[in-house]
Amino acid sequence: MTNIHKLSGIVEVGGLQFEWELRSEPQWNESEGWKGMTVALLRKHTQRGALLEFPPPKRLLKGMQRGRLQVGDAVVIRGIQAALDAGWEPETRGKPMVFVVDADGN
């Protein structure tokens, strides 16, 4: 059973292991408004990471209270696959790449 309220973990995509960690929760910014959560990714034994930027939850945009964060392995796996499809090469060196994904990680 997958625990959907974890703040970090390890998932497998294409036979490779990736570590993920919640870097920031949704937050209000005076200049940009609501900003969604950010999840950091790193393939095991490599140097170049990636950041997945999610949109803010709809409940925040409607002025409702913050709910419990929903970060599940399935969303992270879809985000990793989307980042790889968009050109993330974890085995290369360099700054972490930033990818904007939808609420489902696509």
- For 15-71, the pLDDT digits (tens) are 999 999 998 887 777 887 778 888 999 998 888 999 999 888 765 555 555 555 667
Q: Please classify residue 62 by burial: count the beta carbons closer than 10 Å to its beta carbon, then call 0-12 exposed, 13-18 middle and 19+ buried.
A: exposed
Average pLDDT over residues 98-102: 89
pLDDT at 1: 43
Give the separation between CA 79 and CA 22, rounded to whole angstroms.
Answer: 13
Rounded-to-10 torsion of CA 63, 69, 72, 75? 30
pLDDT at 71: 75
User: Could you tell me where the DSSP H helices lie in 4-104?
Assistant: 58-61, 73-85
pLDDT at 72: 82
Domain ranges of the chain: 8-100
Residue 96 has pLDDT above 60, yes or no: yes
